[in-house]
Amino acid sequence: MTIKATPTPGALLLSPQDHTLIMIDHQSQMAFATHSIDAVSLRNNAALVAHAAAGFKVSSIVTTVAEKSFSGPVFDEIKDAFPGTEITDRTSMNTWEDANVIARVNAIGKKRIVLAGLWTSVCIVGPALSALDQGFEVYVISDACGDVSAEAHNSAMQRMIQAGARPMTSLQYLLELQRDWARTDSYELTTGIAKKFGGAYGLGIIYAQTMFHAKEG
């Protein structure tokens, strides 16, 4: 049987409309003990994810654990991306066991869940395995997560992958939402986020646009 290719995106690719992003416990106290990624990179990657989701109007939930009594506030970079958004505070380490968060997930009603947060082995593994068990598709933005050691983070990622979760990175998340430079309505949004939070890639965009007036697409 002959296979025929068509110019259409694969079903496993994310689009802005087909998933809920849940950002979990990007808080000071949790970051202090994170050693699998440095704090600067973690904050930068979390900011990239948050601004990408906000810019593309992705259904998003920001949640904290014991914000007032122990873990402290959400990173400012995330607050800046979602000004005025409701932040759901919890007592449970597993976000999926919090009735208020689940009420928001159900109100949004999307089968795909994208997770990012601290720590990978506890606060991301918990909801990832729970959501998978209930029939959701789960994606994990690995470099917007972190843990007390590289071993803890890597073991947690492997555990989730073995259960069916799909790993990706923060820059990959942004570019997958854009996916086609011919989408001119979001071109400035995407390149603007990349220039601010996209590291060397963002510097390359700044250089090309400044020196040669270059533009993708």
pLDDT tens sequence across 74-114: 999 999 999 988 999 999 999 999 999 999 999 999 999 99
Backbone angles phi, psi at 101, to 5 degrees: -65, -45
CA–CA gap between residue 28 and residue 74 (Å, rounded): 7
Q: What is the band of 73 on the pLDDT scale with cuts at 50, 70, 90?
A: very high
**68 has a pLDDT exceeding 90:** no
Give the helix ranges, DSSP H, for 56-198: 76-81, 99-108, 125-133, 150-163, 170-178, 187-197
Half-sphere exposure of 32 (CA within 13 A, CB side): 6
What pTM was computed for the model? 0.95
Q: What mean pLDDT comes out for the span 59-82?
A: 93
> What is the Cα–Cα distance from 185 to 109, expressed in whole angstroms?
26
Q: Cα(36)–Cα(195) distance, rounded to whole angstroms?
A: 25
Is residue 180 very low, low, confident or very high in pLDDT (cuts 50, 70, 90)?
Answer: very high
User: Is a pLDDT exceeding 90 seen at residue 70?
Assistant: no
Token code pair at residue 126: 């918990």
What is the rounded average pLDDT of the residues 178-189? 95
Selecting among 31, 37, 65, 123, the annotated active-site residue is: 123
- 37 sits in which H/E element: none
Q: What is the mean pLDDT of residues 62-66?
A: 94
The helix/strand/coil state of 87 is strand
Q: Is the pLDDT of residue 215 over 90?
A: no
Q: Of 12-16, 70-74, 165-169, 171-175, give the lowest mean pLDDT range.
A: 70-74
pLDDT band at 9 (very low <50, low <70, confident <90, very high): very high
Measure the CA dihedral 152/165/56/174, to 10°: 60
Does the pLDDT at position 173 exceed 90? yes
Question: Using 50, 70 and 90 to split pLDDT, how confident is the model at 217?
Answer: low
Query: What pairs with residue 167 in β-bridges?
Result: 140
Give the pLDDT of residue 176. 98
Q: What are phi and psi of 49, to 5 degrees?
A: -65, -45
Share the mean pLDDT of the chain.
96
Give the integer Cα–Cα distance in Å for 46 and 59: 16
> Within its chain, how far is the Cα of 170 from the centroid?
6
How much is the pLDDT for 167? 98
d(CA 116, CA 169): 10
Question: For position 4, what pLDDT does the model report?
Answer: 94
**How far is C-alpha 104 from the geometric centre of its chain's CA atoms?**
17
- Determine whether 145 is an active site residue: no
| Rounded Cα–Cα distance for residues 206 and 192 (Å) | 9
pLDDT digits (tens, 9 = 90+) for 112-153: 999 999 999 999 999 999 999 999 999 999 999 999 999 999
Is residue 64 a contact partner of residue 9, using CB atoms and an 8 Å limit? Answer: no
Residue 81's identity, in one-letter code, is: A
Q: How far is CA 28 from CA 14, 31, 82, 101, 156, in A?
A: 30, 5, 18, 21, 21
